[in-house]
């Protein structure tokens, strides 16, 4: 039995991707992935394959989402967390550079 424990430190504020929505994989825990994304461009309207936790680490993100056919939006600042339940259609619009921690089902959109 391997008793060696591993660890990882990710300096989120220092990470800059080479293109919008680049990501550093942090962990895959039984099919749930945690990734650090860097972006300066909007994503696309989408519905994840499961639930998603979207935590803004640096920057500001305008999150648009649809509820009962109505488009709504909210500003997310560093430290804010957006939860997208199953079926929640949404799109993230960073306001400049942003670093975002995303926890979701492996292979989700």
Domain spans of the chain, in order of start: 20-105
Determine contact, residues 50/108, Cβ cutoff 8 Å: yes
For residue 93, the number of C-alpha atoms closer than 13 Å in the C-beta half-sphere is 9
Tokens of 11: 């300096």
H-assigned helices in 1-109: none
Q: What would the pLDDT profile of 27-45 be if each residue is shown by its tens digit?
A: 999 999 999 999 999 999 9
Q: What would the pLDDT profile of 41-96 be if each residue is shown by its tens digit?
A: 999 999 998 999 999 999 999 999 999 889 999 999 999 999 999 999 999 999 99
CATH number of 20-105: 2.60.120.10
């Amino acid at each position: 039995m391997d008793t060696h424990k591993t660890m990882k430190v990710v300096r989120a504020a220092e990470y800059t991707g080479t293109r919008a929505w680049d990501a550093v994989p942090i962990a895959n825990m039984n099919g749930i992935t945690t990734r650090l994304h860097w972006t300066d461009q909007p994503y696309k309207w989408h519905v994840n394959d499961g639930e998603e936790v979207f935590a803004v680490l640096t920057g500001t993100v305008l999150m648009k989402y649809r509820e009962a056919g109505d488009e709504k939006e909210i500003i997310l600042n560093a430290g804010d967390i957006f939860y997208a339940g199953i079926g929640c259609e949404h799109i993230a619009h960073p306001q400049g550079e942003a670093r975002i921690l995303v926890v979701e089902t492996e292979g989700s959109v």
